[in-house]
Amino acid sequence: QVQLVESGGGLVQAGGSLRLSCAASGSILSINAMGWYRQAPGKQRELVAAITSGGSTNYADSVKGRFTISRDNAKNSVYLQMNSLEPEDTAVYYCNAEVKRRYYTNYVGYWGQGTQVTVSS
């Protein structure tokens, strides 16, 4: 099985910063893309940022210039540095990874349990 564990959420004032971390563990052979999604109350889950195994990145327009995604392939980990946070960034943030497990041929998407980020005005 594969587990994704997130950490780093919390309460911060507008203009502040937070750094989210996500570590994947289990019977992992390789990881393709990794990403961060968020879901605010009453809204659909949306992509915040994604990064390929080669380091190519993609960001939602709303976070460009403020958030930075990075990964450590040796640690099967992905990070999200969030600066200049706004109240509109308040949401539960989920980590996602496309994982190929040992003895399997296809990549499968896995989700973390989510971490709350609250930005006060």
DSSP, res 121: -
Q: Judge whether 70 and 51 are in contact, CB under 8 Å.
A: yes
The pLDDT of residue 16: 98
CA separation for the pair 27, 54 (Å, rounded): 21
pLDDT in tens, 73-84: 999 999 999 999
What are the tokens at 34?
């990794």
Task: Supply φ then ψ for residue 89, to 5 degrees.
Answer: -85, -5
Q: Judge whether 112 and 94 are in contact, CB under 8 Å.
A: yes
Q: Judge whether 65 and 57 are in contact, CB under 8 Å.
A: no
Handedness of CA 103, 109, 114, 115 (dihedral sign): positive
What are the tokens at 23?
């570590």
pLDDT in tens, 15-73: 999 999 999 999 999 999 999 999 999 999 999 999 999 999 999 999 999 999 999 99
pLDDT band at 102; cut points 50, 70, 90: confident
What are the tokens at 65?
């210039």
